[in-house]
């Protein structure tokens, strides 16, 4: 009898936990990451028109930004993604790409060295010193302020993964 009275609340808590965890995976859904064996730079260089208007997901480290009237353009060093979302820790940059944000961004939040996962529509290339670099129109982003802490949770002193 005691067990029957506890099953209802336990089931409700369990279902609530499942519902909450399902909400966290909605970010970046429906966007295909770039092919692992190639860099975005390689793909666009080979055939920029083939990928035009596609929404792609890419990881990057901010290298610099500049304001363009009411927009901001940010230069990124491309980083490989782990689990199709998180930029790989300690990964060497694989190229360069640019993202145009629809408004001016806060230079403190988007300063050099920040790590991000960005989804954007490929709108063309930015040619610098004769080299063509992918140019994306911003759609969605995740800034990883404390990448190590975000990726490896700890549960207190001497407990957890690290």
The pLDDT tens digits for 117-161 are 999 999 988 888 988 889 999 999 888 865 454 455 545 555 545
3-state SS assignment for residue 138: strand
pLDDT for position 150: 46
**Measured distance CA(111)–CA(113) in Å, rounded:** 6
**Which residues, other chains included, contact 39 with Cβ-Cβ below 8 Å and sequence gap of 6+?**
78, 94, 95
Task: Return d(Cα 55, Cα 26) in angstroms, integer.
Answer: 16
Query: What mean pLDDT value characterizes the chain?
Result: 75
For residues 59 and 18, the model is more confident at 59
What residue ranges define each of the domains in the chain, with the CATH number in brackets? 32-151 (2.40.50.140)
pTM over 0.75, yes/no: no
């Amino acid at each position: 009898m005691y067990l029957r009275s506890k099953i209802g609340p336990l089931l409700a808590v369990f279902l609530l936990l499942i519902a909450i965890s399902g909400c966290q995976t909605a970010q970046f859904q429906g966007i295909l990451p770039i092919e692992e064996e190639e860099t975005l730079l390689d793909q666009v260089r080979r055939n920029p028109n083939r990928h035009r208007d596609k929404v792609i997901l890419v990881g990057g480290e901010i290298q610099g930004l500049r304001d363009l009237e009411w927009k901001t353009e940010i230069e990124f060093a491309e980083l490989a993604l782990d689990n199709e979302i998180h930029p790989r820790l300690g990964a060497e940059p694989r190229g360069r790409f640019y993202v145009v944000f629809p408004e001016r961004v806060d230079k403190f939040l988007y300063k050099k060295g920040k790590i991000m996962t960005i989804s954007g529509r490929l709108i063309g290339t930015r040619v610098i010193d004769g080299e063509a670099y992918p140019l994306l129109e911003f759609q969605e982003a995740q800034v990883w302020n404390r990448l190590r802490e975000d990726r490896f949770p700890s549960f207190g002193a001497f407990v957890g993964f690290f």
